[in-house]
Structure formats: C-alpha cells, structure tokens
Amino acid sequence: KNEVEQSPQNLTAQEGEFITINCSYSVGISALHWLQQHPGGGIVSLFMLSSGKKKHGRLIATINIQEKHSSLHITASHPRDSAVYICAVVSSGSRLTFGEGTQLTVNP
Amino acid sequence: DAGITQSPRHKVTETGTPVTLRCHQTENHRYMYWYRQDPGHGLRLIHYSYGVKDTDKGEVSDGYSVSRSKTEDFLLTLESATSSQTSVYFCAISESSGNEKLFFGSGTQLSVL
C-alpha cells in the first residue's frame, strides 16, 4: 500500500462545478503539499499546510492531522483548472512522499 | 516565478552512454532535489543536496550520481544510461527542507534507446 493515496485517480467535471480531490496518508507528517501539474508538464506549488485550512482564490485546502487526510477543493471550476493535482507529505527526516496524482478535466 | 532552469529540455541517447542533466537556480535556495516521474508512480526522489558539496541519496539513486560545486548548480549524471532510466526528470528547490514551499523546473524528457 502506498504511503500516500489520492482519490479519485481521474475526475471529469462540467464548468462551474465544485471539485473535491482527496489525499490520505499512513505516516506521521509535519506538513503536506498540494501541487498542480499543467498539461505542458510544469509543476507549481499550490499550498503547503500543517493544520487547518488555507484558501487562495477559488482553491481551498484542508487537512485533518488526526484522520491523516487532506482535501483540495476548487469552487466554480473552469476549463483552465484542468491539470494533474498532486499531494505530497513531509514525514520523518523531512522526507517527501508523493501521491500518483489526480487527473482533472473540466469541460466547458 | 522562481528562477530555476533545467537543461536540456529533451534528450535522446543510447544505452551505455553517459548523460548529464543540469539544474540551475538564481534563488540562492539551500536545498535542491532531483526527481523522476514515471507512469504509475508519484514523483520519486533520486538525490538531493542540502548545500555545496553536501548531497544524499533518495529512494531511487542506483545508477545516478550528483554533484553540487556551486550553490546555483546541481548536476545529475547517469554514468551508463539504461532503458529503465527513460523518464521525465524534475529538479526542485526549497529554502530549507520539505517544510518550505517547493519550486520546480520545467522537466527534462530523457529517452534511452
């Protein structure tokens, strides 16, 4: 079993829909990253969080340390949100472990 | 955008040849990382550096070596490329360890024939 599991693996939505991507992990962590990989391959950091919730524009990330779970929400989704979303956890020794990613497609 | 550049962007080489990938940063960040990305796997750490001449192995380091002689440059070398090293390679930087924001290069598509 992978230390970091993302669900769903693939997600197709209509423009305007509310999107939720989940990340569950099995190790103790000090922080969690959400990353976005564009269709062209580039990777950008969206959030880094260790507790609670963070919001940036239409994106919201939450984490529940006790339940070992994080969610990334996208409100009012748009076709330009189509990308792969990657969760990564920081565990002992500052080791980063990445999930396999969730492919999101938002249709107009 | 963070100043991080990978070169080359694409490379095709033959089995058994040496290959060097370069990561250059202008952010003066202490930590630099090399990852590979393959279908069915998350990004996997090859090697990382926490300072000039300070490097350590990641989870998939076999067949790879690295060097960091200057803060801004982190080189990844495949001493004798194999087909299993066909992958997309990403360099990343951060100010400190994993608890800081990560910045990624654009990636290098390497094909070993």
Give pLDDT tens digits for A55-97: 999 999 999 999 999 999 999 999 999 999 999 998 877 788 8
In the stretch 46-75 of chain A, residues with CB closer than 8 A to chain B read 48, 50
CA distances, A99 to each of A33, B40, B96 (Å): 10, 10, 22
Over residues B12-28, the pLDDT tens digits come to 999 999 999 999 999 99
Residues of chain A contacting residue B41, judged by C-beta atoms under 8 Å apart = 100
Q: Which of B33, B38, B3, B39 is nearest to B21 (CA)?
A: B33
Q: What is the mean pLDDT of chain A?
A: 93
Check CB contact of A10 with chain B, cutoff 8 Å: no
Contact A86 B107 (CB under 8 A): no
Per-residue pLDDT, A74: 98
B61: left (phi over 0), alpha (psi -120 to 50) or beta: alpha
Contact B42 A41 (CB under 8 A): no
pLDDT higher than threshold 90 for residue A10: yes
* Residue of A45, A98, A101 with shortest CB distance to B101: A45
Is residue B49 helix, strand or coil?
strand
Tell me what percent of chain A is helix, strand and coil, each rounded to the nearest 5. Answer: 5, 60, 35
The rounded distance, in Å, linking the Cα atoms of A48 and A52 is 11
Is residue B30 helix, strand or coil?
coil
Nearest CA in chain B to A99: B42
